[in-house]
Chains A and B, each alone.
Chain A
Amino acid sequence: EDQVTQSPEALRLQEGESSSLNCSYTVSGLRGLFWYRQDPGKGPEFLFTLYSAGEEKEKERLKATLTKKESFLHITAPKPEDSATYLCAVQHLNDYKLSFGAGTTVTVRA
């Protein structure tokens, strides 16, 4: 059975304090790994898709990387507006379903 585990569960950062979120996964055939951002009471907002080990994607202060067993989301010099829950999901090779991790809730204090 597919498993997606995110750590830490919660992360409190001072503005400007860089950090990384981890997503480890086991899946029988990976089509892609996705990162989403979810604000309270809202649906997830798409950030990145990674397809192969070694791939990296960047968007503003966020950078996602992928290995064969895990993915990292690096937040560089975060701002309060980066506060959100970040969700990792794996997509199966045989269909387009997503299996989500439980998320990491990031709080950035000014």
Chain B
Amino acid sequence: GAVVSQHPSWVICKSGTSVKIECRSLDFQATTMFWYRQFPKQSLMLMATSNEGSKATYEQGVEKDKFLINHASLTLSTLTVTSAHPEDSSFYICSATRDGQPQHFGDGTRLSIL
């Protein structure tokens, strides 16, 4: 199946710092990538939709200045959590898709803000 790589898998940082998470589709060119957030024992909540070469579309309630998304190429999207605080601690997961095919997910990034 399709492979989506997410890096880093785990990051711990101090409150106020910014953290960048990378999502790469390794074996296909992804026209669209999605970013999700998942709290313990809860389902995935869509944060934003990212299309290559255009601005991301954010879901209601998600601060675009807080969660910066860049989709610079058909194989790479990045999510930067700016000035992170403890309430931003969560499991962040990306997915990639092409031409309406099923979304394939990365293995997630566990973010802990101290």
Contacts and interface: CB of A to CB of B under 8 A. Distances in A.
A73 B69 CA distance: 35
B46 A98 contact: yes
B61 interface: no
B4 to A, nearest CB: 8
Max chain B CB contacts within 10 Å: which of A31, A46, A95, A96?
Answer: A96
A41 B100 contact: no
A102 B6 contact: no
Contacts of B108: 41-43
Contacts of A44: 44, 93, 105
Interface string A90-104: 000001111111110
A87 B6 CA distance: 20
B43 A97 contact: no
B42 A96 contact: no
B15 to A, nearest CB: 24
A42 B95 CA distance: 12
A109 B45 CA distance: 30
Given A96-B100, A98-B103, A43 B93 contact: yes
B75 interface: no
Interface in A11-57: 31, 34, 36, 41-46, 49
6 contacts: A34-B102, A41-B108, A46-B104, A87-B43, A96-B49, A102-B42
